[in-house]
Chain A
Amino acid sequence: MYKIILPTRYLLKRRVTYLAVAAVALCVFTVVVVMTVMNGLVGEFKGKNHDFVGDCIVGTDSLVGFAYYPDFLSKLREQDFVLAAAPVAKGFGLLTQPGTGQNIGVEIMGIEPASFCRATQFAQTLYYHKDNPGAAFTPTYDPALAGCVVGIDMVAGTRDSLGRYHHDPESPRIELMITCFPLTAKGALAKAGTDLVNTKTFHYSDDSHTGLVKVDSRMIYVPFDSAQKLFGMAGPNPRASAIHVKFAEGVPLKTGVEKIAKMWDSFVATHKNETYAYLLKNATVQTWLDYRRSSIAPMEKEQTMLILLFAMLGIITVFIIFVVFYMIISHKSKDIGILKSVGVSRGAVVQLFLTFAALVGIVGAGIGAAAGCAFLIKINDMEDWLFEHFGWQLWDRTVYAIGDIPNNIEPDVLAIIIASAILAALLGALLPTARAARQQPVEVLQVSQL
């Protein structure tokens, strides 16, 4: 019974214990808030990349692309584990809006809207054709015109203070001229003489808001066959830059990618004697995560750095608990002496003080976690209030492509933080507890010590 009563009494009656609880609470509060926001940002960014790419990508960085993709596409579409597969032609182009005299270097992505929307979440990024993504390249003002979808940051102007874009009810009539260098399968310029480029005029049909700044600020989507013609990829042996794949529900990413990698290897082997077999060697099979690694890795590294810095905060908490326990045990030597003199073992003393430490950890972590959760739930309201009254925002939404501050509390992260806090409390109490266990009743209870 004393193993419960004594720790509870120490917790409630010793004011210095409040300090240890406050230290644990402060630490847990800070870590919960910062980690939730950071995890939210990283998770959101990863999600947007996943939505943009699909589950798996078979492709090459070379602007020449690879041939025989229709055969491989057919094979993929026959597989049970593949839900959708879409060919894509990628390259660079020069965009001109007649009348403005402005030329902008852009990335061009040639897609088949229907299949691409099945393989990725492209449909969700559209504004005017969200419900009918198959017609994404059909301008609403004149369906006969060749349409293109433009990255939202290229047309919709700046975001408002809440990060929203303005759209007219009807899509605006904008003419856009795209010029590309057509390339042969060997990477040479396909055209000779004075006119080395291919130019085609498109009309704005929609815009795409993926939430990825580099994509939204310089990507133009055009019909797949038009892109092939612009890049010189059309012809008797058409070429593509990539095939985006979405797996059927329940197919683990790793398993799916491994299966496609095997299929690709066998496909390359069967085509090894073909004229353009050398182009197949440049193509790789990657998960969406590997494909977008260069964009995602810096954020993950920053997240790791933050965790390391918070480990320092944990160490300070351990020291605070150490000092507090040292103090309490110094003062409670008489209690320890009496307990031991009535037959309580060393192990039981250790158990008593570790229970006390665990209590400090649980109460501190509980308070910190509750305060952190409450703060996170209200974080966006607080930011709105600050913006309304003082014009202050954590992130200027007209500069950053961030919506609300992420405040989705992840139970597993919360559990890890609370468990770490309790562990830190136990760790801090370890040395003072060992000292308490070693105390001899005959020494601490002698008259001169009382």
Chain B
Amino acid sequence: MKQLSLFLCFKYFCRKKIVLLSIAAVALSCALLITVASLFTGFIEAIENSADDHLGDIVIGAPLGLKISKYDRLINDLEKNYLIEAATAVLSGQGLLHMGKGTGDVRAVRIWGIEAAGRAKATPFADLLVRQKNKNTPPTFAVEDSAEQLGGFVGIGVVAKPDDVTDEYDFEQVTASIGREVFLTTGTKELKRRTIKFTIADVVFSGVYEFDKDFIYLPIDELAEKLYPSQGKIADMIQIRLSRKVEPQAALPVVRGIWQNFADNELGWTNYAISLAKVSTSRQMQARLLAEYRKQMAMLMLIFGVVSAGVVLLIFCIFYLIVMTKQKDIAIVKSCGLSSGAVAVLFVVFGLIIGLIGSAFGVVMGYLFTKNVNYIEHLISVLFDLKLWKSSTYMFTRIPNQVNWESVLWVGLAAVLAAALGAVIPAIAAAGVRPVKILRYE
């Protein structure tokens, strides 16, 4: 009997084309929420990863106005610990770069003095170099065909500008800039200006606009000698890459201990000065900004959640319509022995099934859209001459397209529950149908 009733009910319902509408509505809402959540979390993760790549997992920063001398010993101490894979020093500053004779091009730049080979061990720096990335040897500042000249690296945004329409760099122009002689002016604490002439030995293309637009890299020893003569090896930042599977938070106390020990024995700073040095994970350094992005994502999800609440209403209306127009069928099923409770359960289960099918379609649509978002964006730019995503606005050259499976799970679950919720009142109405009233002849 039960099987017959179920069969009849499903037969009736499946013939209702309007049911497809509720499936489509669930699928669309689901796809929208999954896409928004994935793109936003992808963006946040990309920021975290770019900070890891650029700064390492943990950073030791000297207090303002102080420099870490004998940093090679500190790096040595750090690398002895099994938690740490590699560490590298940075001497940072800002300056003014003249792009060479006759160009009339001057720009403000951020300067990092680095050890190219050491940095390549601690970060994926070697993979970012346009000329040297495919070489098997560690990167160097050596200028091709001219060993005496001082070589330096520049961010790709320093030598080229992304195209207004395609947002892509002209790599011919970029490659042509390698070997060009440029002039850097920066200052020392004693207010002396130093102008450094160097040759562009390579171009750094990280895909993160913030790091590409105005960074230049010079050999740390040469930079230190120019700005702080006779002070030996000095740096203001030590970037640390942890061994695989080591959590930065877990390694932080160890790094602090090594730093404290080094500072006490080697630097001769006061305890207060040592306490001012910042030892933090690269993610902690981004924490405030990331918290704001997460808040914006939550607001957006809330707004689209409200939009999706319309879907619950839609399902309610559709189910109510089915109940109202199929009262006779429900009455027949009930007259065959199906209880009111069973009829109600049937409607709720049907709501769940619609939710399941809708969210399955939604997940597939959301997945396909997120994975292909760069192609879609490219297509829009080609068809409508409209560039939606620019690295200068949204930091990254490519739209992060990783599907966030956690969001997929809870959005899918919410969709199934919402569909079932929309079916509850119509289910109660269906349960209340009295065969004797509906099926009487008069």
Contact = CB atoms under 8 A, between A and B. Distances in A.
Interface of A: 16, 19, 22-23, 26-27, 30, 34, 62-64, 91-94, 96, 98, 100-107, 177, 179-181, 183, 186-189, 194-197, 199, 218, 294, 298, 301, 305, 309-310, 312-313, 316-317, 319-320, 323-324, 326-327, 330-331, 394-396, 399-400
Contact of B390 (A199, A298, A330, A399): A298
A33 B194 CA distance: 55
A122 B65 CA distance: 34
B96 A92 contact: yes
Given A188-B101, A316-B25, A316-B307, A104 B94 contact: yes
A234 to B, nearest CB: 16
Contacts of A195: 193, 195
Contacts of A327: 317, 320-321, 324-325
Given A105-B94, A323-B21, 5 more contacts: A93-B108, A104-B94, A105-B109, A327-B317, A399-B292
A317 B195 contact: no
A399 B109 CA distance: 23
A189 B187 contact: no
B321 A320 contact: no
A71 B327 CA distance: 88
Given A94-B186, A180-B96, A197-B193, A316 B311 contact: yes
B64 interface: yes
A330 B323 CA distance: 12
Given A63-B104, A195-B195, A327-B324, A320 B185 contact: no
Contacts of B292: 395-396, 399-400
12 contacts: A19-B317, A93-B108, A105-B214, A181-B98, A188-B102, A194-B195, A196-B183, A319-B21, A319-B25, A323-B18, A327-B324, A399-B289
Interface of A (DSSP majority class) = mixed
Contact of B320 (A16, A183, A305, A395): A16
A183 B185 CA distance: 14
B230 interface: no
Nearest to A185: B104
A92 B107 contact: yes
B324 A323 contact: no
Contacts of A309: 32, 304, 307
A246 B418 CA distance: 56
B64 A102 contact: yes
Contacts, number: 161
B21 A92 contact: no
Nearest to A294: B392
Given A105-B94, A197-B195, A399-B289, A92 B106 contact: yes
Nearest to B318: A323
Interface string B149-160: 000000000000
Contact of A196 (B18, B98, B107, B310): B98
Contact of A106 (B108, B303, B304, B313): B108
Nearest to B303: A34
Contacts of B307: 30, 309-310, 312-313, 316
Contact of A183 (B106, B291, B299, B321): B106
B146 interface: no
A330 B325 contact: yes
B88 to A, nearest CB: 23
B309 interface: yes
Contacts of A330: 321, 324-325
A320 to B, nearest CB: 5
Contacts of B28: 312
Contacts of A399: 288-289, 292
Interface in B43-95: 64-65, 93-95
A119 to B, nearest CB: 26
A23 B94 contact: no
Interface in B9-44: 18, 21, 25, 28, 32
A154 to B, nearest CB: 13
B94 A186 contact: no
B189 interface: yes
Contacts of B393: 298
B241 interface: no
A181 B185 contact: yes
Contacts of B105: 63, 187
B96 A105 contact: yes
Contacts of A396: 288, 291-292, 295
B350 to A, nearest CB: 16
A319 B25 CA distance: 9
A186 B108 contact: no
B265 interface: no
A179 B314 contact: no
Contacts of A197: 96, 185, 193, 195
